[in-house]
Amino acid sequence: MTGMKEITTEELQKKLEAGEQLELVDVREDDEVAQGIIPGAKHIRMGTIPENLDKFDKDKEYIMICRSGNRSGQVCRFMQEQGYQVTNMVGGMLEWEGETK
């Protein structure tokens, strides 16, 4: 098993500000997302990822987001094992200083 790809909140913010089209997936619970989500991110709760794998494309790379980076890291490991290209946003929304909606 290869190491997990990671991106910092600052790196992600720079990519978004540069207009890059990224596939963001927020795996937090509904009440957490209600407090703010990165614009453009899809919300798919961690517990529902296995039944939602058909919503992902193995040719695309996904950046997984949670509150602190722990749950999204677990989702990344699971999805990597299924053959998906995933990157974990380390620090999660606790460290996110960019725009939320």
Q: What is the pLDDT of residues 34-68, one digit of tens each?
A: 999 999 999 999 999 999 999 999 999 999 999 99
Residue 1 predicted with pLDDT over 80: no
Residue 31 predicted with pLDDT over 70: yes
Residue with tokens 């200083």: 97
Mean pLDDT score of the chain: 96
66 is catalytic: yes
pLDDT reported for residue 55 = 95
pLDDT reported for residue 2 = 60
Q: For the purposes of burial, counting CB atoms within 10 Å of the CB of 27, is it exposed (0-12), middle (13-18) or buried (19 or more)?
A: buried
More confident residue, 1 or 75: 75
Q: Which two tokens stand for residue 55?
A: 């919503």
* Whole-prediction pTM: 0.96
Identity of the residue numbered 97: E
> Which residue is catalytic, options 66, 79, 90, 93?
66
- Phi, psi angles (nearest 5°) of residue 77: -60, -45
